[in-house]
Structure 1
Amino acid sequence: MIKRIVILLFCGLAYISVHAQEGFKIGAQAGLPLGDFNERIGVVIGADMGYMWAPNKIFDLGIKTGIIHGFAEEFREGTILEDLPSFQFAPLAASVRIWPSKTFSFGGDIGQAFGLNEGNDGGLYIRPQLGFQVGPKSEVNFSYTSINVNDEKWATVTLAYVYTFLSARHFR
């Protein structure tokens, strides 16, 4: 009898840990620019951190912040090499994820991206995402990032890895 209870308890705890999404999240991303910044930026990297609450089994709500760095391309016009500036942003956003299944989510972030380099005022930050759970506390997601910078649009596509710490009570 005790052996069955221990096995049942162990299976229950394993199920909870596999499907928990609530907690502190930290992630790293890399991607490529599109549109207005495609000629000036070669590659984009970033890091995010935040907290997600799980009010029910279907959706998570949270807040995120991070850093985005776009590395400048070297531009050669004739024989003159022009140094283009890198771009950095610090987004602060509200976040929502909808979980139609145990391993797939979609959602996005919306907020303000603060420009960190000279001449960069930042702007409205929008980042829709598709996520795939790849482990008990980790996921891979694909996203499109849009930031209105002055009269131009910063747009990137990225691939990210996200890890959840202190996941607790959200059962799927």
Structure 2
Amino acid sequence: MTYLWSVSDTFDAGAALGFSNAFGKEIDTGFGSVQIDDVQFLPIAAAGRVHVTEDFSAGVDLGYALGISEGNDGGFYYRPMVGYSLSEKLGLSLSYTGISLDGGDWTTINLGLMMAL
């Protein structure tokens, strides 16, 4: 969920809060099986959007993702995105989410629906 305020005709700024869950599974390696646990994050971020044209926007969310699952300390959260307005109240977004963890990264590619309230 992102709440944005209009700073100028072409720039919005605000805050973002979300929840991410990845389901684990058991993988058979041929030499035995490996159990991958579920992982959950609660990202809290500042958000910015630039209106490139009337229909297209680009932006980024930057902040920290709190680790919720056991053994998950969280990490730096970043989410660059592009958006396309379908109407005054509805749009599509394509984004890449990254969380820099101690010892690696957790990343996803996302397609979403944006709604203005």
TM-score, normalised relative to structure 2 = 0.93
- Aligned partner of 1:82 in structure 2 is 34
- Aligned partner of 1:127 in structure 2 is 79
Greater fraction of residues in strand: 2
- Any conservation in 1 of the 2:80–2:96 contact (CA below 8 Å)? yes
- Aligned partner of 2:108 in structure 1 is 156
- Aligned partner of 1:6 in structure 2 is none
Identity in percent: 35
Structure 2, gaps ≥5 residues long: none
Q: Which residue identity is paired with 1:136?
A: E
Is 2:54 aligned against 1:102?
yes
Structure 1 segments, 4+ long, off by >6 Å, are none
Count of matched residue pairs: 117
Greater fraction of residues in helix: 1
- Aligned partner of 2:96 in structure 1 is 144
Structure 1, gaps ≥5 residues long: 1-48, 166-172
Q: Which has the higher contact order (CA 8 A, sep 6+)?
A: 1
Q: Once superposed, what is the RMSD of the aligned Cα atoms? A: 1.3
- Any conservation in 1 of the 2:2–2:47 contact (CA below 8 Å)? no
Q: What SS does the aligned partner of 2:9 have? A: coil
